[in-house]
Amino acid sequence: MVKHNFYAGPSILPDYTLEKTVEAVKDFAGTGISLMSISHRSKEFTAVMEEAQQLFKKLLNIPDGYSVLFLGGGASTQFAMVPFNILNKKAAYLNTGAWASKAIKEAKFFGEVDIVASSEDKNFNYIPKDYKIPEDADYFHITTNNTIYGTEIKEDIDSPVPLVADMSSDILSRPVDVSKYAIIYGGAQKNLGPAGVTFVIIKNDILGNVNRAIPTMLNYQTHIDKKSMFNTPPVLPVFAALQTLKWIDGHGGVEEMQKYNKQKAEILYDEIERNSMFKPTVPNAGDRSYMNICFVMNDGYEDKEKAFLDFATEKGMVGIKGHRSVGGFRASTYNALPMESVDALIDTMQEFEKNNK
């Protein structure tokens, strides 16, 4: 049976990435040595790191004056690294979900945190609007896509202070005006690579303005100076990320990713709206994520949730169970998910409706 991978992360990667990584695990760059056994200081791997950084810059049209870093520790470490490096007195945060809340918690260790707006009052099922960013803040932090609740900020906002974004789950899914941001970071395990590597896009001149001493490994400048090679980087995930970057580049870049992702998401949302058995968790269509489509059983059919999950599993749908804080279902439609998987899920939903209505 064909499996359709809707996991929210770690999640589906292009076959190209998997195949090239498997080859390299057996014999990396013709060295006769496995990628898992090669020195990160070898000329072969150094070339991988440099190419990944340059291709990242190309795909997102990253301006001069920015560095691309590949680090360990996940986005969760970035929750602390950001304020450690750039929070002097006060930071502003937009609270749109669980991960934004975790970032806020970490920032409070370093200074005052102004939560300019929050959607917690409705279980994070919308993106706050009409908030004011304090102009005396050291930076303003947003989480662009919320995997648990299925909301997304799809445009680059204008901020009067340096803008910081956690783009863990929608990086490379659309064009980004990087010049509007001071820092963009995220875990790779959605649209970029396997778990184990974290990307950071950072404007170099944002650094050097805090009054505290920063431990060596938590100092962005350390990693900028050594081009992500200060310590042993996550070698295999960086190699896999490079393969994904090549795959995106070969498929028309982020512009084509955006078109394809929008198409996948919209036809699935249309079916959720049409199907009498289901309803979306995010009421405002403009706030709905193109990466994580969240839905629940419609009113009167709540007792059918387990039955649909079992039915969908029988049909080859994998990873569609919703997060425990929301319930229902979540179909993650990242770059590498083919349209065939979305069509298969829609067919499953329609068959379930026919059998249970």
Query: Treating both helix axes as pointing N-terminal to C-terminal, what angle do 74-86 and 98-107 enclose, rounded to 10 degrees?
Result: 40
Q: Which helix (H) or strand (E) holds 50?
A: helix 43-59
Q: Residue 357: its pLDDT value, please?
A: 83
Burial 190-208 (b: 16+ CB within 10 A, else e): bbbbbebbbbbbbbeebbe
Rounded to whole angstroms, the Cα distance separating 71 from 78 reads 10
Q: How many CA atoms lie within 13 A of 280 on its CB side?
A: 25
Active site residue 129: no
- 10 upstream amide cis, omega within 30 of 0: yes
| Active-site annotation holder among 20, 154, 190, 203 | 190
What pTM does this model have? 0.98
Asked if the domains 4-11+252-356 and 15-250 are classified in one and the same CATH topology, the answer is: no
Active site residue 108: no
Domain boundaries 4-11+252-356, CATH class: alpha beta
Rounded to whole angstroms, the Cα distance separating 223 from 68 reads 10
pLDDT tens string 215-263: 999 999 999 999 999 999 999 999 999 999 999 999 999 999 999 999 9
The values of phi and psi at residue 202, to 5°, are: -135, 135
Q: How many CA atoms lie within 13 A of 105 on its CB side?
A: 8
pLDDT tens string 307-330: 999 999 999 999 999 999 899 999
| Active-site annotation holder among 20, 99, 246, 264 | 99
Amino acid identity of residue 141, one-letter, is H
Amino acid identity of residue 256, one-letter, is E
* Sequence ranges of the domains in the chain: 4-11+252-356, 15-250
Q: Which of 151, 147, 154, 149 is nearest to 190 (CA)?
A: 147
Sign of CA dihedral 211, 203, 197, 190: positive
Domain boundaries 15-250, CATH class: alpha beta
Q: What are the residue ranges in the chain where pLDDT is below 70? A: none
Rounded to whole angstroms, the Cα distance separating 169 from 198 reads 12
Q: Residue 131: its pLDDT value, please?
A: 97
Distant-in-sequence, close-in-space partners of 128: CB < 8 Å, separation ≥ 6? 94, 96, 117, 118, 119
Q: Which of 357, 354, 288 is nearest to 124 (CA)?
A: 288
Q: Residue 101: its pLDDT value, please?
A: 98
Rounded to whole angstroms, the Cα distance separating 225 from 119 reads 39
Active site residue 20: no
Please identify which residue in the block is written with the tokens 């078109």. 259
| Active-site annotation holder among 20, 154, 166, 287 | 166
Strands 329-332 and 292-297: antiparallel
pLDDT tens string 266-289: 999 999 999 999 999 999 999 999
